[in-house]
Amino acid sequence: MDRRKSLKALMVGTVSAGALLEACKTSDKKGAEAKAAADLSAGNLDRMKEEVAHYKQITANKFFTEHEMATITILGDIIIPRDEISGSASDAKVPDFIEFIVKEKEEHQVPMRGGLRWLDLQCLNRYEKTFRECSQQQQIAMVDEIAYPEKAKPELKAGVAFFSLMRNLTASGFYTSEIGVKDIGYMGNKPNQWNGVPDDVLKQYNLAYTEKELKECISFTA
């Protein structure tokens, strides 16, 4: 049973919610694979024709050079590395997202391009190599100087601003990917029945529904 059919079932109301939730679980995986291959500009999401034209226009050209993309990939994986819970930024294709979003949001173009250049020049002065050519140790030493806004030296503030932007864009790309959504533990976006805060959570926070709420609010039996 695919999601569309399960929604139809909801509409006519002939299927119990339990069966519906089961149906969605089994279909989700296949759906995700099919979606990954879909043309995002048209079809998978409802789009106006003006939006399709806009998408085609901004994706017609590359913004970052290969060198810049390689640097973004290294930085992204320093910010979000693989750990025991989930994969890395590059596992979640964050560099591709950054390439797209910087084309889309032009206000990021100069800070990103200029920031990458700033980083390379710092590394050239220190190590006679660009950031990507530096050893891992050198890269981390450099990052340590710009990753902590309140500890960074005043003369490195431009690098701090760049790294904060890079951190924010990396988080946006990672936690909106399938890997990242699973990591952060967002459990919604599926048909279900809201029955209130789970009992153990209510207890944890020393809260309870009032009799009035229990009487008036919609509730569902599992």
Partner 1 sequence: MGDFQIKKQSKKYDAIIVGSGAGGGMAAYTLANAGLKVCLIEAGPMFDPQKNVTQLKNPWDSPRRGASTRFRPFGDFDACYWGWEVDGEPYTHAPGTEWDWFRARMIGGRTNHWGRISLRFGPRDFKRRSIDGLGDDWPIGYEDVKPYYDKVDQLIGVFGTNEGLENDPDGHFLPPPKPRLHELMIKKAGTASGIPVIPSRLSILTKKINNERGQCFFCSQCGRSCQVYADFSSSSVLVKPAIATGNVDVVVNAMAREVLTNNDGLATGVSYVDKTDMNEYQVYGRTVILAASACESARLLLNSKSQRFPNGLANSSNVVGKYLHDSTGADMGGVIPALFDRKRYNEDGVGGMHVYTPWWLDNKKLDFPRGYHIEYGGGFGMPLYGFSWGIENLNGKHAVKGQAKPAGGYGKSLKEDYRYFYGAHVGMAGRGEAIAFESNYCEIDPDVVDQFGIPVLRFNVKWSDHEIKQAKHMKETFAEILHNMGAISVWGNDDGPENNYGLHTPGKIIHEAGTVRMGSDPKKSALNKFSQAHDVKNLFCVDGGQFVSQADKNITWTILALSMRASEYIIDEMKKQNL
Of 68, 103, 84, nearest to 76 by C-alpha is 68
Stretch of residues binding partner 1 (CB under 8 A), selected from 44-52, 62-70, 119-127, 129-137: 44-52
Site for partner 1 in 143-202 (CB under 8 A): 143, 147-151, 160, 163-164, 167-168, 171-173, 175-178, 180-181, 183-198, 200-202
x/- track of binding to partner 1 for residues 101-120 (CB under 8 A): x--xx---------------
**Selected binder of partner 1 within 80, 112, 116, 134 (CB under 8 A):** 80
Going by the DSSP 8-state scheme, the letter that residue 83 receives in this structure is -
Stretch of residues binding partner 1 (CB under 8 A), selected from 60-68, 118-126, 127-135, 141-149: 141-149
Exposure class string for 99-137: b at 16+ Cβ within 10 A, else e? bbebbeeeebeebbeebbebbbebbeeebeebbbbbeee
Beta carbons of 159 and 115 less than 8 angstroms apart:
yes
**Selected binder of partner 1 within 71, 73, 86, 90 (CB under 8 A):** 86
Beta carbons of 89 and 76 less than 8 angstroms apart:
yes
**Cβ-based nearer residue to partner 1, 30 or 35:** 35
User: CB burial class (10 A; 0-12, 13-18, 19+) of residue 167?
Assistant: middle
**Selected binder of partner 1 within 16, 81, 106, 121 (CB under 8 A):** 81
Stretch of residues binding partner 1 (CB under 8 A), selected from 7-15, 65-73, 115-123, 128-136: 7-15
Stretch of residues binding partner 1 (CB under 8 A), selected from 66-74, 114-122, 128-136, 205-213: 205-213
DSSP string of 97-118?
HHHHHHHHSGGGHHHHHHHHHH
Stretch of residues binding partner 1 (CB under 8 A), selected from 61-69, 109-117, 130-138, 208-216: 208-216
Site for partner 1 in 45-74 (CB under 8 A): 45-46, 48, 50-51, 54-55
Separation between Cα atoms, residue 47 and residue 6, nearest integer Å: 24
Residues binding partner 1: what is the number (CB under 8 A)? Answer: 78
Write down the least CB distance from residue 15 to partner 1, Å: 12
Integer angstrom CA distances of residue 187 from 143, 182, 184 = 33, 8, 9
Token pair 């949001």 is found at 105
**Selected binder of partner 1 within 13, 60, 61, 137 (CB under 8 A):** 13
**Cβ-based nearer residue to partner 1, 138 or 164:** 164
CA 117 to chain centre: 25
